[in-house]
Structure formats: C-alpha cells, structure tokens
Chain A
Amino acid sequence: MDFVSILSIFVLACFVGYYVVWSVTPALHTPLMSVTNAISSVIVVGALIAAAAAGSASSKWLGLVAVALASVNIFGGFAVTARMLAMYKKKERRDA
C-alpha cells in the first residue's frame, strides 16, 4: 500500500470514530475507555513481527516484552470491560 491510500484509510477512520463515539451513551464512557484500551493493543501486531523475525536478537527481545505488555492490555482490557458491562441491568419487572 502506498502512503496516500494508507492516509485515506486513516482519515476516513477518524471520521468513523468521530460519529461512532458520539453515539456512545455517557453511562458507558468508562467501558468505552477500557475497551478502546484493549483494542489499541492491536499494536501487538507490530510486537509479533519483531518477536517472530530472525536476524536481530535485541529486536526480538524488545518485541517479546512488547508482546507481553500488549497481552496484559488485551486480556485485561476485554475482561474488565466484560465484567463492567455485565453489571448494567434494567429494572426488574414486578410481574416477571
């Protein structure tokens, strides 16, 4: 992919992000932060490339540490979000 098509993806994604985030209900702003945290750990892709590549030992170890850090975030972020979202309940109906 050349720079311009990458830039196009980026700019359009910013607009998507803008509209999607405004539609998030304020009651869920804390889960929003924890889930954005989890997904921004997609940076693990870069860490995996570095850790998987042969050639530079220091680069590999940096990559492995980054994989571990990002994994804390991925698993922790999604799990804590799931835990919070499970707590949001509607009023119980009396007749139910």
Chain B
Amino acid sequence: MREAAATPAWVLLAYLISGVCFILALRGLSGPESSRRGNYTGMVGMAIAVGTTLAVHQVASIAEIAGAMLIGGGIGLITARKIQMTAMPQLVAAFHSLVGMAAVLVGAAAFLNPGAFGILDPARQILQVSRVEMGLGVAIGAITFSGSVIAFLKLNGNMSGKPILLPLRHVINLSTLAAILGLIAYFTQDQAPWVFFTVAGLSFAIGFLLIIPIGGADMPVVISMLNSYSGWAAAAMGFTLHNSAMIITGALVGSSGAILSYIMCRAMNRSFISVIAGGFGGVSASADAAAIDRPYKRGSAEDAAFLMKQADQVIIVPGYGMAVSQAQHALKEMADKLKAEGVRIKYAIHPVAGRMPGHMNVLLAEANVPYDEVFELEDINSEFAQTDVAFVIGANDVTNPAAKTDKSSPIYGMPVLDVEKARTVLFVKRSMGGVGYAGVDNELFYRDNTMMLLADAKKMVEEIVKALG
C-alpha cells in the first residue's frame, strides 16, 4: 500500500486516460464508420498503459520482456491475418482462454512476489483485502481459461457439440463452487501456498465441468459469458494492483459480455440459468421419425432461379449452415445477378444465427454485402408479408412457426422470422432427415408455399447462379 500511495499523479492520470480510450473504442462500435477510429483509439489506450507501466517500474529484464512481446505479438498478428471469418467463434474462444491464463499467471506472480506489487502490510504479510481480490481474480481467470478451452474444442469440432451429462453434475458443480469460495475466505486467515494453489486447481476443474454439459447450439451464450468472465478477471486483478485502467476495462468487458449473454438468451427465449444448467440440444429421435412421412414440395435450382427472377423483393435469411458450407460469396454473386434483373434484395438476420453474436453480419461483410442491405429481426419482420420470395439458407429453428403457435414445442416463445408470410419460401437444406439444433421438426417444410431445395448450401446457390445465366 505504501508503494501504491507513492505513485506519482501523472501515472494515475495516464492509466485513467488509457481507460477512457477503451471506453471510446467501444463507443465507436455504434456505427461501422466510427468503429474503425474507435479501434485505433483502443490501440492508443493499450500503448499508453504499457508505456506507463514500463516507465514507472525499474525494469530489470527489458530484453526478456521485449522477447516475450515479440513472440506473443507475432503469433497474434499471423493468426489474425490467416484466420477464416467462419472460424471467428473458435478464435474468440481461444483468445478468451489466453486472457484467463494470463490472469492466473499474474495472480500467481503477485502471490510469489507480493513486494513488487506493493500489497504487503507492515508485518510483511499480504494485505487481507488483496488476498480476497487475488483469490477471486485467479478463480475467475482459471474458470475463463478451462471453460474457453472446452468452448474452443466444441466450436472447432475437436469435441462433439452434443452436451455431455455427468451424473450428479449439479451437486458436484455447486459443491466445488462452495469449496472455492470457502477457501478464498480461509485464504484471508492463512496465506499458505496450498490454499492459493487449491483455489486455482479447483477453478480450472469447475471451468471444464461447467461448459462440458452445454450443447453446441448454446455456444453464442457461452462465448458471451466467457467474454464477460475474462473482463471480471481483469477487473479483480486491477483491484489487486490498484490500477484504474484495468478496473475500467474489466468493468467494460464484464458488462459487455453480460449484455451479449442477455441478448442471446432473450433471442432464444431461454433463461440464463437453464443455459448454464446445460443439456439442451440433445436430438430427440421421435421428432425425426415423425417427420419422414409428410409430403413436401421439392424444387430445382432452375425453379428457384425462375421464381426469384420474377420477384420484386427477395429476403435472404442466412444461418449457421451458410457458414459451414462457406456459401456467402456464392450468395453475394446470386444477389448481384438478381439485382441486375431489377430485384430488391435484403438480408434478415436473427440474433442467434451462427455460433456467436453478429457472426452472420461479419460473413456477409466479408462477401462484400453492403451493410445497409442487412437488417435485424425486429426491423424486417413486418416486411415478409409484402415479399415475394424468402430465401432461407442454412437457418432452421429461427424460422420455425411452431415457436409462435405450438405451446408444447421446446422453442415456443422464441422470437422467429416470419418467413412463412412471404408469397414463396425457398428453403435450402442438405436433406429432409436432419432437424435443427433444438431437435424439433419445422412445420414450414410442409406448407403449400414452401419449396425445398435439397442440396449443400454452396452447391445449390452456385447452381442457381448458373441458372440465372
């Protein structure tokens, strides 16, 4: 505390400025134009924080630090350049795990060398309040790390997206959490290393246990939640270090992730608790079996091309299937051909389409779709009734009318796109067998105004492009 009190005023101000830069970086994201400037402001804020830290501390190992930054920065830059946009959810999960691990390492370093962080009391013991902050920071960091590793493996396909349900998991999870909190409380009385490292170890374990039962479809919530955790971990470390830049950033990131989780839950009409409890997305066999016998209309690429060419307005509804088959570029080509025929094209995006918030928007932007043709659910839903063709590609549950009518459906109450109100619905789907992530059949397939286009999304769109000539 003595060292912290001796911090010169300009240093405190510099950290404050850095925090303000981060606020401005997020503020910039209210529109695409201001967002690019915001991103640079964020970089400036980071440079100020790093520069200030190096300037005020006696640096005994500048060469090693420079080396660590070069290695880390190089890996980061190369990854950022090479990564495919469809793989963004995995990348973000991987980045979260690094923040979590860094928090754990900083916590451990502060525990081993508390003098350097200025958190010793006159009796050369770690300050009690710092012990709580440190314990919480390490716990949240460890949960962020192991949870993000599981999320990464599930998103990257190294691990099945199906929920893995352990017996008694709620009992195990709750008692582990209680043990972590109890140990942090005990840590204030006894700063023995075993307490500290047990907290870290148990937190790593609970991170795995918490994410394993959550199915692939709930990943948008999970990834937002881990985003939030990485913020709270940074904030807890900021408390330990009395650093306002870290506290401000932690609070920003923490609330950002929390708000995104809330938006995702609302878009699925599910409570946060039920997502965390896990188990959603196990495919029920009965829904599959019932689906097979019902009659449906099947169309060809030529039929689809003909219908869309005649239309005044076509609304394209993309979903995760479009991302999987990388159909966004072909889709843009199709839209361009239709525009040349005088057709108005719009895109409708459901908040949970894809595997992370805003995933579809990035993919469309990558394919050079202008962002003023892309609309959110509430802005476009009333337009389907005046639309000639709704072109659903790789989306399923988010178009299911059962969410509005069938009280027994697991997705009842979820806000959906009213595609069935369009004069014709063209539904691109790999086969009739599979069901959406919620494991429910989609009544939309069997309606009179629906034409099923059964093929891989990219192949189908390419054939339509050919048919448009």
Q: List 15 A-B contacts (CB under 8 A).
A: A9-B247, A28-B35, A32-B260, A33-B358, A34-B91, A35-B26, A35-B38, A49-B53, A54-B60, A62-B109, A72-B72, A77-B76, A79-B77, A85-B36, A90-B371
Which of the candidate stretches B152-160, B223-231, B294-302, B389-397 sits at the interface with the other chain? B223-231
CB of B45 to closest CB in A, whole Å: 7
Known A14-B251, A29-B357, A69-B102; judge A43-B113 contact (CB<8 A): no
Collect the chain A residues with CB atoms within 8 Å of residue B108's CB. 59, 62
Does the CB pair A62–B27 fall under 8 Å? Answer: no
CB of A73 to closest CB in B, whole Å: 5
Which of the candidate stretches B80-88, B409-417, B427-435, B455-463 sits at the interface with the other chain? B80-88
Cross-chain contact of A71 among B72, B85, B239 (Cβ < 8 A): B72
Does the CB pair A32–B26 fall under 8 Å? Answer: yes
Collect the chain B residues with CB atoms within 8 Å of residue A25's CB. 29-32
B330 is an interface residue with CB less than 8 A from chain A: no
**Number of B interface residues in the complex (CB < 8 A):** 118
B interface residues, Cβ below 8 angstroms from A = 4, 12, 18-19, 22-23, 25-27, 29-32, 35-36, 38-39, 42-43, 45-46, 49-50, 53-54, 57-62, 64-65, 68-77, 79-81, 83, 85, 88, 91-92, 95-96, 98-99, 101-103, 105-106, 108-110, 112-113, 115-117, 129, 223-224, 227, 230-231, 233-235, 237-257, 259-260, 263, 349, 351, 356-359, 361-362, 365-366, 368, 370-374, 376
Known A31-B362, A37-B227, A52-B61; judge A63-B105 contact (CB<8 A): yes
Does the CB pair B46–A74 fall under 8 Å? Answer: yes
Cross-chain contact of B23 among A20, A52, A56 (Cβ < 8 A): A20
Known A24-B26, A63-B109, A90-B371; judge A46-B241 contact (CB<8 A): yes
Collect the chain B residues with CB atoms within 8 Å of residue A56's CB. 109, 112-113, 116
**A-B CB proximity, top 4 nearest:** A71-B72, A76-B76, A29-B358, A53-B116
Does the CB pair B46–A81 fall under 8 Å? Answer: no
Name the interface residues of A33-61: CB closer than 8 Å to any CB of B. 33-56, 58-60
Collect the chain A residues with CB atoms within 8 Å of residue B102's CB. 41, 43-44, 47, 66, 69-70, 73
Does the CB pair B35–A31 fall under 8 Å? Answer: yes
Collect the chain A residues with CB atoms within 8 Å of residue B19's CB. 13
Known A76-B79, A80-B83; judge A53-B113 contact (CB<8 A): yes
Does the CB pair A32–B256 fall under 8 Å? Answer: yes
Residue with the greatest number of chain A CB neighbours at <10 A, chosen from B38, B54, B76, B115: B76
**Number of A interface residues in the complex (CB < 8 A):** 82
Chain B residue with minimal CB distance to A13? B251
A interface residues, Cβ below 8 angstroms from B = 1, 3, 6, 9-11, 13-14, 16-18, 20-56, 58-60, 62-92
Collect the chain A residues with CB atoms within 8 Å of residue B43's CB. 78
Collect the chain B residues with CB atoms within 8 Å of residue A29's CB. 260, 263, 356-358, 361
Cross-chain contact of A30 among B23, B99, B239, B356 (Cβ < 8 A): B356
